[in-house]
């Protein structure tokens, strides 16, 4: 079983380390963990699919042994098949890809699963949920991007709540939301049916423990998990 398979409808927080200080990554993750984070969101960018460049399997391999939390790699790159084996080797728990640039989605998802990782699909804001309809049996979680991939700190796109709703009608798979998530937007997405809250700048631009806790509390309140 994996992290997403065992979620059981709970609201969870996934700090996006894109907004962390990379010189002290493990510490930043620990602070977010103290605030209730349960998954580390690891953004991989190639200056091709997106106009930004970040970190790859070597950094993942260094981080994985430093945290008890599962690491979730979000591949915002062309030709992800080339790097999936290295991320599997690095010990990440799950890998999501962007169907907009994957040539053979079924094969890519199978490759992720055969490496023992859970397989996710991340949808750009204008990518219709129906794109993944025939891939659903091969997917373990869906990431609804609520900004255009590439940068942290962008403005939340409110129409993405409707996309979460549409996906909810299509599938029971766990839905992750990524982009502009904070204590104000998290409840909107949770009410729509999202359960995994990815947040970068909202967590790391303040005290990560306090900020992670605020977002989680807001999300859990919206789900009726707490008062
Ligand atoms: C954007 C990334 C996000 C990013 C979110 O391409 O996929 O994970 O870190 O950052 P915030 O939470 O600042 O919008
Ligand atoms: Zn991401």
pLDDT in tens, 8-56: 999 999 999 999 999 999 999 999 999 999 999 999 999 999 999 999 9
Q: Whose C-alpha lies nearest to ligand 1, atom 2?
A: 149
Per-state percent for the chain, helix, strand, coil, to nearest 5: 45, 20, 40
| Mean pLDDT along residues 101-121 | 98
Angle (deg, nearest 10), helices 208-223 and 25-34: 40
Residue where the block lists tokens 């993750």: 29
Q: Check residue 173 and give its pLDDT.
A: 98
The residues spanned by each domain of the chain are 12-223
Q: Given ligand 1 and candidates 179, 183, 184, 219, which is best to mutate, with the most ligand atoms within 8 Å of its CB?
A: 179
Active site residues: 43, 178
pLDDT of 73 above 90 = yes
Can you tell me which atom of ligand 1 is nearest the CA of 16? Answer: 9
As beta bridge partners, residue 40 has: 71
pLDDT digits (tens, 9 = 90+) for 144-191: 999 999 999 999 999 999 999 999 999 999 999 999 999 999 999 999
pLDDT of 107 above 90 = yes
Q: Check residue 1 and give its pLDDT.
A: 83
As beta bridge partners, residue 175 has: 142
pLDDT of 139 above 90 = yes
Q: Which pTM was predicted?
A: 0.98
Q: Check residue 55 and give its pLDDT.
A: 98
Q: Whose C-alpha lies nearest to ligand 1, atom 10?
A: 152
pLDDT digits (tens, 9 = 90+) for 177-227: 999 999 999 999 999 999 999 999 999 999 999 999 999 999 999 999 999
CATH class of the domain whose range is 12-223: alpha beta
Q: Given ligand 1 and candidates 198, 202, 206, which is best to mutate, with the most ligand atoms within 8 Å of its CB?
A: 198
């Amino acid at each position: 079983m994996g992290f997403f398979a065992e979620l059981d409808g709970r609201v969870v927080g996934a700090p996006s380390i894109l907004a962390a200080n990379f010189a002290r990554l493990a510490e930043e993750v620990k602070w977010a963990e103290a605030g209730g984070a349960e998954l580390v969101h690891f953004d991989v960018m190639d200056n091709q699919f997106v106009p930004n460049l970040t970190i790859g399997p070597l950094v993942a391999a260094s981080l994985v042994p430093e945290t008890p939390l599962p690491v979730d790699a979000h591949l915002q790159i062309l030709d992800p098949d080339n790097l999936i084996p290295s991320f599997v080797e690095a010990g990440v728990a799950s890998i999501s890809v962007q169907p907009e640039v994957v040539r053979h989605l079924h094969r890519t998802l199978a490759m992720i699963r055969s490496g023992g990782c859970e397989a996710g699909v991340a949808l750009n804001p204008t990518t219709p949920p129906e794109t993944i309809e025939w891939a659903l049996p091969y997917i373990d979680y869906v990431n609804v991007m609520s900004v255009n991939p590439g940068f942290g700190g962008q403005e939340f796109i409110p129409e993405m709540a409707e996309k979460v709703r549409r996906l909810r009608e299509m599938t029971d798979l766990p839905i992750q939301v990524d982009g502009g998530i904070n204590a104000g937007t998290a409840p909107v997405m949770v009410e729509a049916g999202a359960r995994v809250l990815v947040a970068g700048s909202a967590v790391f631009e303040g005290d990560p423990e306090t900020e992670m806790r605020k977002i989680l509390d807001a999300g859990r309140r919206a789900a009726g998990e707490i008062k």
